[in-house]
Structure 1
Amino acid sequence: MTPLADALFRPVRVGNAFEETVERLMRAIRLGAVGPGERLPAERELARRLGVSRVTLREAIRSLQDEGFVESRRGRYGGTFVTASVPVAPAGGHVPAGELLDAVTLRSVLETGAAECAAGRALGAVDRRDLLARLAECRDAAVDEYRRKDSRLHLAIAEATGSASLTAAVADVRMRVNELLDRIPLLPRNLAHSNEQHEVIVTRILAGDAEAARRAMAEHLDGTALLLRGFLT
């Protein structure tokens, strides 16, 4: 393994282990640390380096295999190999790092603040029902409508703050982020994880725990930012 690959395959954090594993693998592929036709480190070794379970690693590799970035080969000289022709991006192209950073930073500031503010308010029955309804819609959404339902939930959280200006700002930044999200694949494991995080966020808001709601939203947004960086920069 090259020194670059050594640096890239460093331990990931716990909260978004799947998303960060995908980001690590994509960065290694994008930077040429593991080139077209070359084999990734053995599963046991790679899981150890990344500090993740082999189940998490397999889910990440399977997701990239489904999108055409890697392929599995059987036999004595088998393993997981980077495909000979790596896709440029599933539905788009390279995004300048500064442009991506600007969008995800603004989103983080606005939406973590919105979650904290919503949790700090004495929410009425209508707001509470709306949050739970949007949460259920997102959880039950088909893949092709997931991003729309996801947007509705995040906007419902902003609306629960009672600030029309904040809601408008969240809507604006969500439009920017959705344009970026449309360029990357929908990974089933990521969607399941997002729904788990949504449940935590809404539960914290309804319980009136402002600090926990903020932390939960920050962790959730970090997962999305990791995938955007992995696929687009």
Structure 2
Amino acid sequence: VLLEVSRDTVRDAISALVDAGFIDVRRGRYGGAFVVNPVPSAVRGELRTAHSIATPHTSPADVRDILVLREVLEVGAASHAAAHDLSATDREKLWSAFNDTKVATTEDYRRLDSRLHLLIAELSGSPSLLTQVAACRMRVNELLDDIPLLPPNIAHSTQQHERIVLAILTGDQPRATEEMRAHLAGSAALLRGFLG
């Protein structure tokens, strides 16, 4: 199955899984990425809980549906935010929201991540788009709550957020579009990997 994600995204995902203890990478003739057996006990219970929560409520079709909707809405929001003439106050709010995600604790990260994404939608200048992104974000957060939040993923998201925010602040609409699409593709690959 082709997931339409870049090699960089796959490398980042594998690196995060190695760091979390799920995968062992071996080099050489018979090398590759291998699932660790058994799964580390520290995460076994967390996975069992996530699987039991996600399985009855979330089919692969549901996951795909929300991810397609998210891509359409949030890529469009980033594009329009970059095209929009931002006030000094808006620019400060955007940079501040990004910085908040950068220094967030694991407990606060998802809330601050959502706030940043919603602010980007708000800066598009379309109240209707903001409403749709907010509704979509609630569904996305339900999915994200069912998977472990790993520090390497947060670090990678922070790098992506910075590129998105800088593209918006410099009015680079094509780059804002491309960076948001890449960011969402990484999240989508992670969600599909855990939830199907």
Checking the alignment, whether the CA contact within 8 Å between 1:115 and 1:214 is kept in structure 2 is: yes
Task: Give secondary structure in 1 for the equivalent of 2:54.
Answer: coil
Structure showing greater radius of gyration is: 1
- The answer for the alignment partner of 2:127 in structure 1 is 164
Q: C-alpha displacement at 1:162, in angstroms?
A: 1.2
Alignment partner of 1:17 is 2:19: no
CA–CA separation in structure 1 for the residues paired with 2:126 and 2:120: 11
Checking the alignment, whether the CA contact within 8 Å between 1:104 and 1:225 is kept in structure 2 is: yes
Distance 1:204 1:15, change over 3 A: farther
Alignment partner of 1:105 is 2:68: yes
CA–CA separation in structure 1 for the residues paired with 2:179 and 2:49: 29
Q: TM-score if structure 1 supplies the norm length?
A: 0.70
Checking the alignment, whether the CA contact within 8 Å between 1:18 and 1:190 is kept in structure 2 is: no
- The answer for the alignment partner of 2:54 in structure 1 is 93
Which blocks of at least 5 consecutive residues in structure 2 are unaligned?
A: 26-33
Alignment partner of 1:125 is 2:88: yes
CA–CA separation in structure 2 for the residues paired with 1:156 and 1:206: 13
Q: C-alpha displacement at 1:121, in angstroms?
A: 1.1
Checking the alignment, whether the CA contact within 8 Å between 1:70 and 1:81 is kept in structure 2 is: yes
- The answer for the alignment partner of 2:31 in structure 1 is none
Task: Give secondary structure in 1 for the equivalent of 2:112.
Answer: helix
Checking the alignment, whether the CA contact within 8 Å between 2:17 and 2:23 is kept in structure 1 is: no
CA–CA separation in structure 1 for the residues paired with 2:8 and 2:123: 26
Q: C-alpha displacement at 1:20, in angstroms?
A: 4.1
CA–CA separation in structure 1 for the residues paired with 2:160 and 2:177: 12
CA–CA separation in structure 2 for the residues paired with 1:15 and 1:231: 19
Q: C-alpha displacement at 1:18, in angstroms?
A: 4.0
Alignment partner of 1:81 is 2:36: yes
Amino acid at match of 1:213: A
Amino acid at match of 1:93: A
Distance 1:108 1:89, change over 3 A: farther
Q: C-alpha displacement at 1:15, in angstroms?
A: 3.6
Which blocks of at least 5 consecutive residues in structure 1 are unaligned?
A: 1-6, 22-55, 73-78
Larger helix fraction of residues: 2
Task: Give secondary structure in 2 for the equivalent of 1:196.
Answer: helix
Q: C-alpha displacement at 1:83, in angstroms?
A: 1.6
- The answer for the alignment partner of 2:188 in structure 1 is 225
1:1-233 residue pairs with structure 2 within 5 A?
13-21=6-14, 56=15, 59-63=16-20, 65=21, 69=22, 81-83=36-38, 89-91=48-50, 92-94=53-55, 95-233=58-196
Identity of aligned residues (%): 44
- The answer for the alignment partner of 2:30 in structure 1 is none
Q: C-alpha displacement at 1:80, in angstroms?
A: 6.1
